[in-house]
Structure 1
Amino acid sequence: MLFLLESPGPMARPDDTVGHGSNPSGLISVDNDDPTAEALWHFRSQARLLTDCVHWNAIPWYIPGGKITSADERQALPLLGELLAMLPRLEAVVPMGRVAQRVWTRYSLATATRYVTLPTWHPAARSLNQPGARDHVAMTCKRSAALLAI
């Protein structure tokens, strides 16, 4: 199962320029000490999706200010292809948020992918505060767990 998010946030930066005494890990990880990682860990845990999951970002580099462009999305496509080549047992992709969904759609249309796709909301607070978003993410994680059980 691939959980495809948008782009790394400031906690993935390798330095301490995010300020406020934060401790960035320099890594893209569900174990980071930030609210988005915590929310995704919670949803996966509730669905008992504790193994066989990979997290990646559609745009795998930090973008200051988060202003992702179409050029960023196009530039990221080959990197997504490289990642998928390293996951021969991958069965499904969960694109989380609009950017991830756009990039995944571009990639899958261009390559005729064979993966089950389960799009849902991004696990950031601003997305999860939308009506029905938390329930949708929870349901998507449960559907993902059911797919892996087959």
Structure 2
Amino acid sequence: MRPVLLRHAVRAVILDEDDRVLLCRFAIPDPVGKIVWAAPGGGIEPGETPLGALRRELLEEVGLVLGLDADPPHVWHQVVVARGHAVGYDGVVNDYFLVRTVWFEPRGALSDDALAAENISGLRWWHLGHIAGYRGSDLFSPRDLATPLGALIALGVPARPVLLGL
């Protein structure tokens, strides 16, 4: 039996001054055919540190420059073991970092074609209430995003990263 191969990734919970969170719209192609709203981020490349990967991903996907002196807190940890969840892997390990910023118009350094190749088809700022009350067919990642996001906004940075479900 071969070992489980998990993709290690970093994600940013980007909150503006009004506690809106910036999410990427991922259009997952067939056979899944789903729309998933998730925090910006992606895989850690060989030789990259988690924060180095976070800086690169934020610049590429949303155009946010995270300074070299920035040390965003690690707030959530998620392990998803599911074939097909990440192409070429048996699942993913996501580490989420809190990034506080003023509102900005997100526009990453990647071209629209490059973003589409990563299945990103949009960016949007969301209020917690809109996520909690959402009744459409799109999904959030994690599925119950409103719960840990509400706790993060209300209680601040946890003493240790909160373990998330799917």
TM-score > 0.5, shorter chain as reference: no
More strand by share: 2
Select the structure that is richer in helix.
1
TM-score with structure 2 setting the length? 0.27
What TM-score results when the alignment is normalised by the length of structure 1? 0.29
